[in-house]
C-alpha cells in the first residue's frame, strides 16, 4: 500500500494556491507543517487513516526542486464534470495544461482524464472511471 506521495516545490505559496484549487474538493484537508504542505483525507474516530497522504515540500538537500520524467500523480474525481471543473480550477490557479479532459483511446472506455503540470512542473492527472456515466464508445 502506498502511504504517501511527495512532490518538491521551490515556491510553497504558489504550490498551495495550485493544490488548494482542487484537493479540498476531493476531500483532502490541508495542514502546513514547518512551511510545507500536507494534504490528507479525513479520519473518522476509531478508523485507520485513508491513504495515501500527499505532501508538497521544499527539497531537503536545498537544491532546486525538479519534476521527474515519467512521474505522475493521479487523483480520482467523482465524475466527468468534476474532472472538468477541477482541471479548470487548477489551470486558473497557476497550472499548465498537459491534456484537456476527455477520453483517451489507449485507456478503458470509462476512463475520463485531464492532465496538468503544477507550477513546479510535476505532472498531475485528474480522472474518473465512473461506470454509471457515458463512456468513450457511447
**DSSP of the chain, one letter per residue?**
---EEEEE-S-HHHHHHHHHTTTGGGT-EEEEETTEEEEE----TTSPPPS-EEEEE--TTSSPP-PPTT-EEEEE-SSHHHHHHHHHHHHHTT-EEEEEEEE-TTS-TT-EEEEEE-TT--EEEEEE--TTS--TT-
The mean predicted confidence, pLDDT, of the chain is 95
What is the tens place of the pLDDT at every residue in 109-137? 999 999 999 999 999 999 999 999 999 98
133 within some domain: no
Provide the whole-model pTM.
0.92
50 within some domain: yes
What is the tens place of the pLDDT at every residue in 72-89? 999 999 999 999 999 999
136 within some domain: no
Containing structural domain, residue 53? 4-59+66-128
Would you place residue 18 in the very low, low, confident or very high pLDDT band (cuts 50, 70, 90)?
very high
Length of the chain: 138
Q: How many domains does the chain have?
A: 1
Amino acid at each position: 500500500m502506498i502511504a504517501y506521495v511527495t512532490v518538491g516545490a521551490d515556491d510553497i505559496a504558489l504550490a498551495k494556491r495550485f493544490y488548494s484549487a482542487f484537493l479540498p474538493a476531493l476531500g483532502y484537508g490541508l495542514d502546513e507543517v514547518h512551511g510545507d504542505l500536507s494534504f490528507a483525507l479525513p479520519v473518522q474516530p476509531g478508523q485507520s487513516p485513508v491513504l495515501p497522504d500527499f505532501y508538497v515540500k521544499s527539497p531537503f538537500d536545498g537544491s532546486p526542486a525538479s519534476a521527474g520524467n515519467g512521474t505522475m500523480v493521479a487523483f480520482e474525481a467523482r465524475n466527468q464534470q468534476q474532472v472538468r471543473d477541477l482541471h479548470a480550477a487548477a489551470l486558473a490557479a497557476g497550472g499548465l495544461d498537459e491534456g484537456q479532459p476527455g477520453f483517451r483511446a489507449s485507456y478503458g472506455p470509462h476512463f475520463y482524464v485531464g492532465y496538468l503540470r503544477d507550477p513546479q512542473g510535476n505532472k498531475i492527472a485528474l480522472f474518473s472511471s465512473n461506470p454509471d456515466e457515458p463512456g468513450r464508445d457511447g
